[in-house]
Amino acid sequence: MSPRIGVLALQGDTREHLAALRAAGAEAVTVRRASEVDAVDALVIPGGESTTMSHLLREFELLEPLRARLADGMPAYGSCAGMILLASEILDAGVVGRDATPLGAIDITVRRNAFGRQVDSFEHDIVFAGLDRPVHAVFIRAPWVERVGPSVQVLAHAADHVVAVRQGRNLATAFHPEMTGDRRVHALFVDIVMGRA
């Protein structure tokens, strides 16, 4: 039976993640309400703008239900802004009251926009632990990981910085695999959800 994986659809590149998850064998659905958080086996938090996404999580009363599901062990995958939100600590979190809010699902400290502004966006082939060949990674105003907790596995580096991690059933990348047509990161997440990885 295919896992039912939600994609948080408040802001960001939702459609691309839905397509990548479906190609990887999951039943992929959008999530915008607390009842929809409860109805999925796992969740993808897409790229976008982390302060805006945090504001919308609060506005739509999703923040606490999402934290509760994550604390109960729901698997999650975050790309770019999703990595920022899944972290336990965010550096340069933004303006108080509209700041990026960590969900605490992965024991990492991330720095927002670490690689620079929009004009500093870049693409690079990176070695990704467990995958058979390099991943073509698209970095757009991307974060990087500055601290990794003892139970966090580092999966990839770019420019000497950690850009992909896994802790238990949670996965995060600083880049956007959904933008390349390479479905291996999403397939890895589906395998994690299914208990195969």
The answer to whether 112 is a known ligand-binding residue is yes
Encoded tokens for 144: 């990087």
- How far CA 163 is from CA of 2, 56, 114, in Å, comes to 28, 25, 11
Asked if residue 106 belongs to a known ligand binding site, the reply is no
Residue numbers annotated as active site: 80, 176, 178
SS (H, E, C) 94-139: CCCCCCCCCCCCEEEEEECCCCCCHHHCEEEEECCCCCCCCEEEEE
Query: Parallel, antiparallel, or unpaired for β 4-8 and 42-45?
Result: parallel
Three-state SS for 193?
helix
Q: How far apart are CA 116 and CA 143, in angstroms?
A: 9
Q: Is 5 annotated among the ligand-binding residues?
A: no
The CB density around residue 59, as the number of other CB atoms within 10 Å, is 10
49 annotated as ligand-binding: yes
Tell me: is residue 192 an annotated ligand-binding position: no
Cα–Cα dist 38/151, whole Å: 27
CA 38 – CA 127 distance, rounded (Å):
35
Residue 111 annotated as part of some ligand binding site: no
Binding residues: 48-50, 112, 140-141
Binding residues for L-glutamine: 48-50, 112, 140-141
